[in-house]
Amino acid sequence: MKKIILALLTLAVVAVLGACGDAKTEKADDDKTLTFGATAGPYSDMLKEAIVPELEKKGYKVKVTEFSDYIQPNNALNSGEVDANLFQHTIYLENFEKENKMDLSALIIVPTVPLGLFSNKFASVEEITDGAQITIPNDPVNAARTLGVLVDQGLIEVDESVEALKISEKDITSNPKNLKVLPLEAGQLPRSIESTDIAAVPGNFALAAKLDLLDAIALENTSDQFRNVVAVKTENKDKQFAKDIIEIIEAPAFEKIIDDKFKGFGKPEWMK
């Protein structure tokens, strides 16, 4: 009998601990502690300069945790280590949660650093000469974004039947200036500006290399699906802290900070 009672007590303790673990990620509405995750760089800066101070005015005690990769911020969000994160666009979020069987949601789209065409040889798109070489990201998503910029600038035409997110070099149907496309690993693109005619540099790599976005000869007109979002666990998306984050980002004071300190960032449709 003693063994049976001991076994039942053990099961009860395990069940209570398990319940506590499950409850960890769902915040109470009156919980004023908040941990925000972000990759180091412009979005961590956006949190610290434009979002955290306003949350603190609302009585929150906020901690910002910086990550050095694009995997851990969502793992930390899913586990409850952070309550919200800011580093990824909608396409990445949707793919990540599907592949990793998570239930995460985007709260609101924020201004996002765009991909830019940089050149030490040409001062404008109109100056680009026949046979110019352009380095582009070698990953499929950013390559498609770059080709979209070239289409928008009238430099190439692509097969319109191909989905915009899946366009590749083989889908180019017209290249009147005979641009020579050279794919490179994204981190090498800022350095390639010195050795090529044009370099297509994703915004985060441009800022990390201390490039001025306003020096680009063209900036991406980013669609909202490629703009970054504040993400939370779906079970928390209607909590008070989530509502307060949305209210802060939608306020005129937030947009003023973006205009003053994040020049060149593309604004989402809801801000226009």
190: left (phi over 0), alpha (psi -120 to 50) or beta: alpha
pLDDT computed for residue 25 by the predictor: 53
Lowest mean pLDDT among 97-101, 160-164, 194-198, 235-239: 160-164
Q: Which domain holds residue 79?
A: 30-112+225-271
Asked if residue 6 belongs to a domain, the reply is no
Give the model's confidence band at 12: pLDDT under 50 very low, under 70 low, under 90 confident, else very high: very low
pTM over 0.85: no
Do 157 and 247 lie in a common domain? no
Would you say residue 14 lies in a domain? no
Number of structural domains, the chain?
Answer: 2
Q: How far apart are CA 20 and CA 268, in angstroms?
A: 39
For 238-261, b/e burial (b = at least 16 CB within 10 A) is ebebbebbeebbeeeebeebbeee
Q: Is residue 156 part of a domain?
A: yes
Which residue carries 């239930």 as its tokens? 103
Residue 2 maps to a domain: no
Q: Are residues 133 and 195 in the same domain?
A: yes
Q: Let me know if residue 101 belongs to a domain.
A: yes
* Confidence label for 69 from pLDDT (cuts 50, 70 and 90): confident
Verify that 136 and 71 share a domain, yes or no: no
Q: 230 with 245: CB under 8 angstroms?
A: yes
Q: Is residue 102 part of a domain?
A: yes
Interval 47-75 mean pLDDT:
96
Residue 209 lies in a domain: yes
Q: Residues 216, 231: one domain?
A: no
| The pLDDT of residue 226 | 86
Beta-carbon contacts of residue 169 (< 8 Å; ≥ 6 apart): 143, 147, 181, 183
Residues 202 and 234 in one domain: no
Q: Are residues 211 and 235 in the same domain?
A: no
Residue 6 has pLDDT above 80, yes or no: no
Residues 205, 229 share a domain: no
Residues 6+ positions from 89 with CB-CB distance below 8 Å: 112, 225, 226, 227, 228, 229
Residue 83 located in a structural domain: yes
Tell me the H-state helices in 47-138.
52-57, 72-79, 90-99
Q: What is the CATH number of the domain that holds 131?
A: 3.40.190.10
- Over residues 12-33, mean pLDDT: 56
Question: What are 100-144's pLDDT values in tens digits?
Answer: 999 999 999 999 999 999 999 999 999 999 999 999 999 888 899
Angle between helices 90-99 and 72-79 (to 10 degrees): 60
User: Is the pLDDT score of 83 beyond 80?
Assistant: yes
pLDDT tens-digit profile of 23-46?
Answer: 445 677 778 999 999 988 899 999
The reply to whether 124 and 207 lie within a common domain is yes
If residue 136 lies in a helix (H) or strand (E), which one and from where to where? strand 133-137
